[in-house]
Chains A and B, each alone.
Chain A
């Protein structure tokens, strides 16, 4: 008996009813590439996802249709995932913002009072 499906294309194939569960060998896996797209000239490239491919050229033709077929796009960057230098989530605490460092942010400066005083003096 072969597999019967609502999809006539599947039924036509005459596939066995039980799927083939043989694991895919490692050699059959392609590597991944990260894709960055740019919506208009001069804008920064933004990471939009990744594709499987054996090399940059193949990654490019696949990425073009995955990530640039609907949205505006003028350019793509394709980067091998293994070439991206990544930090470790173990180091997360390094990025935490110390509340006591508010003095280093622009909002920390009490300048409005001086500005208003200056405006008042010079408005007449």
Chain B
């Protein structure tokens, strides 16, 4: 790995890892409170998968010179996290959480699909490993979207309004970095713009199958800033709660 690519790769992995960690923690907040028992278990299990993905990515960062995974996850300043705003938002009602699960996970599945072909082999290897889990996550999300998008007037209206609320936040997933060109030229990752276009092509027919209408993306202002360390007011309390036990004794053996 050339030295000038190292920053680009490090930044790319941090973005993905932080997204996984924060969405995993957020979604785990449904554990015990889910709408029905079976869905509670399924949603919690997928939240655990996200933490597993975050661990694998932080471990890779550690291998290329960053601190150990626990320190990266629990002991950084808020401004050092580069997750997008979308994953920071509170879980809200289940319509919001399901819509976020659908929009976020479909972007992740596409992203890891692209990364599976990455010229940076250690990342490609991780991306290939997650393929099966992500297939289930998107199947779970797609099925719910189709179901609630067409079940009755109330469910359709609630999902449509969740979609409208989520769209500017979801577009924030694709906030470009300073390294887009380097990543493309080196065949590491085709870039956020490329991913966003593929994502829109992918989600539109699924939403339409559930009688939901895709908002006019051109009229949405993407919620940017997270990738540069500027976060919503929701992230700091989340980090504090998540790292509360860790910070009692950072050297404890688990």
Contacts and interface: CB of A to CB of B under 8 A. Distances in A.
Contacts, number: 44
Contacts of B151: 54
Given A9-B29, A9-B33, A52-B36, A62 B147 contact: no
A54 B147 contact: yes
Contacts of B241: 8
Given A8-B241, A9-B33, A52-B36, A65 B143 contact: no
Interface string A63-78: 1111001000000000
A62 B140 CA distance: 8
Nearest to A12: B90
Given A57-B143, A65-B45, 13 more contacts: A7-B32, A8-B241, A52-B36, A52-B37, A52-B38, A53-B38, A54-B151, A61-B140, A61-B143, A61-B144, A62-B38, A63-B38, A66-B41
Interface string A40-58: 0000000000011111011
Interface in B137-171: 139-140, 143-144, 146-147, 151
B73 to A, nearest CB: 20
A64 B39 CA distance: 11
Interface of B: 29, 32-33, 36-39, 41-42, 45-46, 136, 139-140, 143-144, 146-147, 151, 241
Given A8-B241, A9-B33, A52-B36, A58 B143 contact: yes
Contacts of A58: 143-144, 147
B34 to A, nearest CB: 11
A62 B45 contact: no
A39 to B, nearest CB: 17
Nearest to B31: A9
Given A9-B29, A54-B147, A62 B39 contact: yes
A65 B36 contact: no
B38 A66 contact: yes
A24 B22 CA distance: 34
Contact of B42 (A7, A10, A57, A62): A62
Contacts of B146: 57
A57 B146 CA distance: 10
14 contacts: A9-B33, A54-B147, A55-B147, A57-B147, A58-B143, A58-B144, A61-B42, A61-B139, A61-B143, A63-B38, A65-B42, A65-B136, A66-B38, A66-B42
A53 B140 CA distance: 13
Interface in A84-113: none
Contacts of B136: 61, 64-65
Nearest to B33: A9
Most B CB within 10 A of own CB, among A9, A55, A60, A64: A9
A57 B37 CA distance: 17
Contacts of A69: 45
